[in-house]
Amino acid sequence: MQYVVKEEKKHTTKDELKYIDNIGRYSEHTLNIPRVEMLKKYLEVSILKQNWGDVDKKLAITHASNEFKREQGF
């Protein structure tokens, strides 16, 4: 019997930006938390993250920061 190992899809910068765009908008577990708070937490945790894999760290953080500012009305 042969086993086929399915190649895992890598999380890309495009995937991360889409995730950031949807933070606080789709999970029933976080719908009661303001989006601005979710983005703030994302930015706080991003400083600690060491392995970004195929994600462009600078672009992701910049995008999250811009979304955070937009949510604050800037």
pLDDT tens figures, 40-60: 999 999 999 999 999 999 999
pLDDT, tens only, 1-40: 666 656 677 899 999 999 999 998 877 777 789 999 999 9
Q: How confident is the model at residue 74 (pLDDT cuts 50, 70, 90)?
A: confident
| Cα gap 2→8, rounded to integer Å | 18
**pLDDT for the residue numbered 8:** 72
Residue in the block written with tokens 């970004």: 52
Residue in the block written with tokens 């500012």: 69
**pLDDT for the residue numbered 1:** 60
Question: Residues, the chain, total?
Answer: 74
**pLDDT for the residue numbered 32:** 84
